[in-house]
A and B are shown apart, each in its own frame.
Chain A
């Protein structure tokens, strides 16, 4: 009982001394930006589309041995070439989850050529990723490209990254 009482009281005492230290804001290693935490706690667009649906492109990148696997799927409107919906599933750290979540948000409503221009640096900047986590944003960029490529392959067309015209079926 003494032990328990001591533990409780000393526990309270300790928290008080902590709060009396001045509040200093500095960048500490392994500090999660609130956007990363937000995407983790409230993930957007987690889910799966039917892989065999001809309007769906699936990008699967990464490797379990590296600790990062992202599956990003896009649903494309055949007429306009616009991405109407996107979803993802990720095996990876908080930054990887956030990067792929951001990627699905950014591709929605855009043309396929447009999303190919999304750069990993933009994702990294949006999430304030530290240098050690930049590879997560690179993987997200790769996932977008892989999803578009998969859709194009299914449709039997080749992607023209430079030009703005799309060949209609």
Chain B
């Protein structure tokens, strides 16, 4: 199955890059549209970069593991029945797949399959948990599907947020999306098997990144606890350098920031503030997300790009200049406006 997908992808990638986009546009738009040219790089939103960025934003979302994709594909293309269709094989096999996935999810958190409700994601789980007036443990997965753990003993009563055909024992109506749910189950099973190995590997990469950066820069602070944290989340503050300006120069690395400028208000991230980060440092944070598919080369390149950019911005920073002159920034009366 995987080899067929690979073969199709290889065929697609080897075929000449005909700008099919031009044929489907009107002549006016065609004049503006440019065919994808690998050597010229990518230009989007006013930014030009030489290729696709390194992805280090795993907390936002992450690539799908090919093994999970493998498990999902049959339910998109051949076994596409609705799990609630009781009258034919397509429905029965789909329902069976959903129940297998339910068991896989339950196994991961040591629960019974009867305690798992499938939803559309973490936000919906939160809605059910909070607006449904009770507190639950929720498990989130990306890509449009989620699972809610609802304790059975003692039983919890909750008000359904989605009304309809009474699926998922009346808690969440709506056809259960079989391929997504199967993917979630496969992902949970993989997670259970590989969690220990993944954690060791991610921790090693995180250490590599942190040490690589600290070797060349001072004034680097890790936000949040160094012990009780998920190793793949490296939230760093670079003193005297503002987060959004750093992000602007890091277009070849996909990361995100907790700086105020990236939100509509001038307030820094409330999460960082709750973690006790100083107000003037809260504007300086960048979040690197490391995951299962991050490689050492990506880490090394990200270190290189980050250090260069921070050095460049520190040259431009009046705060860094003051610190170098020995002035204590905290003692200055700033002109608030």
- Give the docked Cα–Cα distance between A89 and B325 (Å): 15
* A:1-21 near B, CB below 8 Å: 2-3, 5-7, 9-13, 15-16, 18-21
Residue ID in chain A nearest B259 by CB atoms: A67
0/1 per residue, A16-41, Cβ < 8 Å to B? 10111111010010111110110010
Contact with B along A119-147 (1 / 0, CB 8 A): 00000000000001001001100100010
Query: Are A23 and B10 in touch, CB under 8 angstroms?
Result: no
Give min CB distance, A25 to chain B, whole Å. 7
Q: Which chain B residues lie closer than 8 Å to A64 at the CB level? A: 279-280, 283, 319, 329, 334
Residue A65 is within 8 A (CB to CB) of chain B in the complex: yes
- Does A97 contact B316, Cβ atoms closer than 8 Å? yes
Q: Mark B49-68, 1 if CB is under 8 A from A, else 0.
A: 00010000000000100100
B248 x A60 contact (CB < 8 A): no
The closest CB in chain B to the CB of A48 belongs to B321
A139–chain B nearest beta-carbon distance, Å: 7
Number of chain B residues close to chain A: CB under 8 A: 54
With an 8 A cutoff between CB atoms, is B45 at the interface?
A: yes
Closest to A3 in B: B66
A5 to B6 CA separation, bound complex (whole angstroms): 8
Q: How far is the CB of A109 from chain B (nearest CB, A)?
A: 23
Contact of B45 among A31, A62, A92, A97 (CB under 8 A): A31
Besides A2-B2, A66-B260, A93-B259, 13 more A-B contacts (Cβ < 8 Å) are: A10-B9, A12-B9, A19-B35, A20-B21, A22-B25, A22-B29, A23-B33, A40-B245, A63-B280, A67-B259, A69-B319, A69-B334, A91-B240
Task: List residues of chain A with CB under 8 Å of any chain B CB.
Answer: 2-3, 5-7, 9-13, 15-16, 18-23, 25, 28, 30-34, 36-37, 40, 43, 46, 48, 60-71, 89-97, 132, 135, 138-139, 142, 146
Q: List 15 A-B contacts (CB under 8 A).
A: A5-B6, A9-B6, A10-B9, A10-B66, A19-B19, A22-B33, A23-B25, A25-B32, A32-B45, A36-B46, A37-B46, A67-B268, A89-B321, A90-B316, A132-B264
The residues of B with any CB-CB pair to A shorter than 8 Å are: 2, 5-6, 9-10, 12-13, 17, 19-21, 24-25, 29, 32-36, 45-47, 52, 63, 66, 240-242, 244-245, 248-249, 259-262, 264, 266, 268, 279-280, 283, 293, 315-319, 321, 329, 334-337
